[in-house]
Structure 1
Amino acid sequence: MPLFEHLDDTSRLTGRLAIGVEYDGSAYCGWQRLKHAPSVQASLEAALGKVAATSVRVLCSGRTDTGVHATRQIAHFDAPVARTQKAWVFGTNANLPRDIAVHWLVPVADDFHARFKALARRYRYVILNQPSRPVLERANATWCREPLDAERMHIAAQALVGEHDFSSFRAAGCQSRTPRRHLHFITVNRYGPLVVIDVQANAFLHHMIRNIAGALVAVGKGEQGPDYMAQLLALRDRALANVTAPGCGLHFVDSLYDERFGLPREPLGPNLLAFLGEWTGERPLPDCPMVRYRRGQPVVEQEQEQDSGEDMNPSAVQHELPSPCQEARA
């Protein structure tokens, strides 16, 4: 998908539609609609509802937590009325607040589900590592005034790759059925004053990435050794780990699906990192049970039992659960 693509204003779309959404999470309690606080979901559904002139229910690939941003949140809804692609995108954006925007909208097969068909989720945690406090980046990067050794952080982080019990990096209130997750890759790199933790997994536990980031900062400062992450992983005890890193540095940058759904490709965010030039889907996914299952490939029963605990049956849950812990609330 090129950066500039024509939006069709002749064909009226109905059925299941997928959308790509970007938002600054600073003013929101997170993605999920709540009665007592503003949410991204409520704002998006209200804007779509004005275009449709009726209520619209939206389901996302993974809920983000309070203050967390997204540059490629994938969601879907079943259009209650027919509108053109241009009307859906332009009309929705016209009714959204300035900190939320729809990038694109495409028709998808009826079996597409933003949450249950996702093969992987990817985040970037951005740290501004400099002596003076941030100004322009204050809302979308975490500030660390002490020098960080990014190479040391990267080496320590490799202990987390693969399928593990991530209890040491799980929020106390997490209600996931299992602490096991399959982490596909994690890298830590320095770009001038920016230290970026780039991580992808089949799913994430509540506060998992922010807890990983907090522990890696301790390694980067020299407060802990390069084997610290492996030690925490083995302990399986959140009470023995480090503080949770702030939400403002966390960006949900990608949700991956099987190629047959034909979702648009676009540069990975946030725009602070546009110079990296990477687009969605460029890195191969690991050959693991969940990926094979969601691509319709054979998975033996034993492998299904060892999978990372995410519900492998999209018909089992038709609506998002009210649990405070879901896949992308990292």
Structure 2
Amino acid sequence: MRNIKLTVSYEGTDFHGFQVQPGLRTVQGELELALQKLTGEPVQVIGSGRTDAGVHAWGQIVNFHTASRIPTEKWAIALNVNLPQDLVVRAAEEVPESFHARFDAVGKIYRYQIDRGMFPDVFARRYAWHVPYLLDIEKMRKAAEYLVGELDFTSFCNAGTPLEDKVREIQQVTLVERGNLLSITVQGSGFLWNMVRIIAGTLTDVGKGRIDPERIPEMLQALDRTKAGVTAPAHGLTLIEVLYPRT
């Protein structure tokens, strides 16, 4: 058996998230259908993690095991012929049998985009949250500094998150302005359910003047979801890159 690693991109608008769900269109489901057509095998795709309905990805990583002898350099081309237009395989490589897209990942980079124009940018409507306010970017940057480090993010994840251990390490949070578009990029060791969206929503509340930057430590210490800001909409979020140890 061979172990094949894929780098995939998808426009999440018309997907019900990454993970297979009966009767619903998902990224994992479309990949497995295409792989079965190519190989004749019932192939299980392993993702680096789940993305929710409406969330996009530029560099999602998956792997699968197969007995097929399709040359490594042909996988991307062959799969893209069988995939819908909103899901593309950007790269393929054969990796050691032990490689696991989820368990071997050591970090991820997400980007959240906000459209600050008075009127929505029709060409950004699927990829950016329209927030027609004058945001105080320096206050948002100040607030973001408090989120860097190894911290308990209970207040910054969905209250229904099943995991007991909610400690995660955030290495950096950066804000970049390009015209009306504001990008919030977050790099961390791992992320909880809705964590980046709640970070983006909270920073936006700071930018609007609804939350003082110095309240962020208090929010973290509260371990209470109701103490942090709003959950930003899914469509502004993109998984940019999954990080693995260098070999």
TM range (shorter): over 0.9
* 2:4–2:65 contact (8 Å) kept in structure 1: yes
Instruction: Please tell me the residue identity of whatever aligns with 1:69.
Output: H
Instruction: Please tell me the residue identity of whatever aligns with 2:94.
Output: P
Percent of aligned pairs with the same amino acid: 38
The 5-angstrom pairing of residues 81-100 of structure 1 reads: 81-100=68-87
**What is the distance in 2 between the residues matched to 1:216 and 1:152?**
9
Deviation at 1:199, TM superposition (A): 0.4
Q: Residue in 1 aligned with 2:170? A: 183
Asked if 1:257 is matched to 2:247, the reply is no
Q: Residue in 1 aligned with 2:49? A: 62
SS at match of 1:101: strand
Q: Residue in 2 aligned with 1:293? A: none
Asked if 1:142 is matched to 2:104, the reply is no
**What is the distance in 2 between the residues matched to 1:177 and 1:18?**
30
**What is the distance in 1 between the residues matched to 2:152 and 2:143?**
17
The 5-angstrom pairing of residues 1-330 of structure 1 reads: 15-260=2-247
SS at match of 1:209: helix
Number of residue pairs matched by the alignment: 247
Partner deviation per Cα, 1:287-307 (whole Å, 9 max, x = no partner): xxxxxxxxxxxxxxxxxxxxx
**What is the distance in 1 between the residues matched to 2:77 and 2:37?**
12
Deviation at 1:231, TM superposition (A): 2.2
**What is the distance in 2 between the residues matched to 1:177 and 1:61?**
20
**What is the distance in 2 between the residues matched to 1:173 and 1:28?**
22
Partner deviation per Cα, 1:34-89 (whole Å, 9 max, x = no partner): 01421100001111111112221110111111110000001111122110234321
Deviation at 1:147, TM superposition (A): 1.1
Deviation at 1:234, TM superposition (A): 1.7
Deviation at 1:173, TM superposition (A): 1.3
**What is the distance in 2 between the residues matched to 1:111 and 1:237?**
38
Identify which of structures 1 and 2 has the higher relative contact order when contacts are C-alpha pairs closer than 8 Å and 6+ apart: 2
Instruction: Please tell me the residue identity of whatever aligns with 1:199.
Output: V
Instruction: Please tell me the residue identity of whatever aligns with 1:146.
Output: Y
SS at match of 1:81: coil
Q: Residue in 2 aligned with 1:282? A: none
Structure 2, unmatched stretches of 5+, are: none
Partner deviation per Cα, 1:270-322 (whole Å, 9 max, x = no partner): xxxxxxxxxxxxxxxxxxxxxxxxxxxxxxxxxxxxxxxxxxxxxxxxxxxxx
Instruction: Please tell me the residue identity of whatever aligns with 2:193.
Output: H
* 2:73–2:93 contact (8 Å) kept in structure 1: no
**What is the distance in 1 between the residues matched to 2:216 and 2:13?**
29
Instruction: Please tell me the residue identity of whatever aligns with 1:249.
Output: G
Structure with the larger strand share? 2
Deviation at 1:242, TM superposition (A): 2.0
TM-score (norm 1): 0.73
Deviation at 1:19, TM superposition (A): 0.5
TM-score (norm 2): 0.96
Structure 1, unmatched stretches of 5+, are: 1-13, 261-330
Deviation at 1:140, TM superposition (A): 0.9
Say which is worse superposed, 98-107 or 190-199, in terms of deviation.
190-199
**What is the distance in 1 between the residues matched to 2:139 and 2:167?**
25
**What is the distance in 2 between the residues matched to 1:189 and 1:149?**
13
